[in-house]
Amino acid sequence: MMRHHSIKTRNNAGFTLIELMTVIAIIGILASTSISSYKSLIRNAQLLTAEIQLKVALQEFSLNLEYSPASGMLDELVTEGYLDAIPNDPWTDKVDPALTGAEEATDWYYENDGDYLYLYAMSHPGRLYIFPSFGSPTLLSPPTGTPPTGTPPAGTPPAGTPPATMAEATKTANQMRQDAQQQAKQIRNDAKKQAQDVTKAADQQAQQMIKQAQAAAKGMPKAQANKLIKNAQAAAKQVQSAARKDANAIRAAANAAAKQTIKTANNAAKKLLRDTKNALK
């Protein structure tokens, strides 16, 4: 009777110091094993968004001003009002708004050779964007840098070579629209994969949190074990909810960028047809 009474009293006494230390250790393990991979996926998604912002801003700048920024002059996108700031590459951790444009050499490779624009993040040089240039600003010497290797988009003529006939102009305009559709599709596909990776990583992290809590709960009094598992489940749901919000934001940004890419190409195609028609009068 005495032994039964002492056990019952202990069960209602709350957490012991050893049990609290066990819970703290579990939280530390979860933080070290799960959060780093999740942050990596978030950075990749942020980098894709930054690349899309720069690409769309360069296209709008070129279409409206009828020339493209010179090599190493991405900060023109800011001075001309096409961006509030040059987006930072999240992998380089350069996040000082006061250095707008100053970190271009650290974060981005940008080259304008007069025919094509070349853009990629210095941390991910394998993801190269190539699209037509509208030429360089007047009174500027041609760039001396060597552009990265890459094949220009098929069917895109060099800038400064106007079509000789309306048939050629129509063919070129249609190709510009097709290229834009392909680019928009690629933007959406990249964002879709990023969003899936983010939610998948969060689901795995949530499952791991619950499993580790269940393992730690073995041997604990039932009430304390249930509380530990319940807290882990609540934390897991928060991780999954935050990841789904991030995934939705990635998809929304990509959809907006894809629409803008198509719109820019349509405007450029209309301008090409209009200019060719006027030139042939």
The pLDDT tens digits of the residues spanning 228-240 come to 888 888 888 887 8
**Is the pLDDT score of 95 beyond 70?**
no
Q: For residue 138, what are its two tokens?
A: 């007047």
Domain definitions of the chain by residue range: 21-279
- Mean pLDDT over 173-186 rounds to 83
Three-state DSSP state, 164: coil
Three-state DSSP state, 81: coil
CA-nearest of 256, 254, 274, 276 to 266 is 274
- Mean pLDDT over 24-41 rounds to 60
CA-nearest of 8, 33, 19 to 216 is 19
- Mean pLDDT over 176-201 rounds to 81
**Is the pLDDT score of 77 beyond 80?**
yes
Average pLDDT value over all residues in the chain: 74
Inter-residue contact 190 to 254 (CB < 8 Å): yes
CB atoms within 10 A of CB 61: 21
- Mean pLDDT over 158-182 rounds to 77
Residue linked to tokens 């079509």 = 163
147 or 124, higher pLDDT = 124
The predicted pLDDT at position 146 comes to 46
The predicted pLDDT at position 124 comes to 81
Q: Which long-range contacts (CB under 8 A, 24 or more apart) does 31-37 make?
A: 33/208, 34/204, 34/205, 34/208, 34/209, 35/205, 37/201, 37/205
**Is the pLDDT score of 51 beyond 80?**
yes
d(Cα 239, Cα 235) in Å, to the nearest integer? 6
What percent of the chain has pLDDT above 90? 0
What percent of the chain has pLDDT above 70? 72
d(Cα 34, Cα 193) in Å, to the nearest integer? 20
Is the four-CA dihedral 221, 222, 227, 232 of positive or negative sign?
positive
Amino acid at 20: L
Is the four-CA dihedral 92, 95, 96, 100 of positive or negative sign?
positive
- Residue 249 burial by CB count (10 A; 0-12/13-18/19+): exposed, middle or buried? middle
Amino acid at 193: K
d(Cα 239, Cα 39) in Å, to the nearest integer? 12
Q: For residue 275, what are its two tokens?
A: 């200019």
158 or 85, higher pLDDT = 85
6 pLDDT band, cuts 50/70/90, is very low
Inter-residue contact 166 to 137 (CB < 8 Å): no
**Is the pLDDT score of 152 beyond 80?**
no
State the number of CA atoms in the 13 A half-sphere of 267 facing the CB: 13
The predicted pLDDT at position 243 comes to 79
93 pLDDT band, cuts 50/70/90, is low
The predicted pLDDT at position 88 comes to 82
At residue 131, φ and ψ (nearest 5 deg) are: -150, 160
Amino acid at 50: A
State the number of CA atoms in the 13 A half-sphere of 190 facing the CB: 20
**Is the pLDDT score of 30 beyond 70?**
no
DSSP code of 131?
E
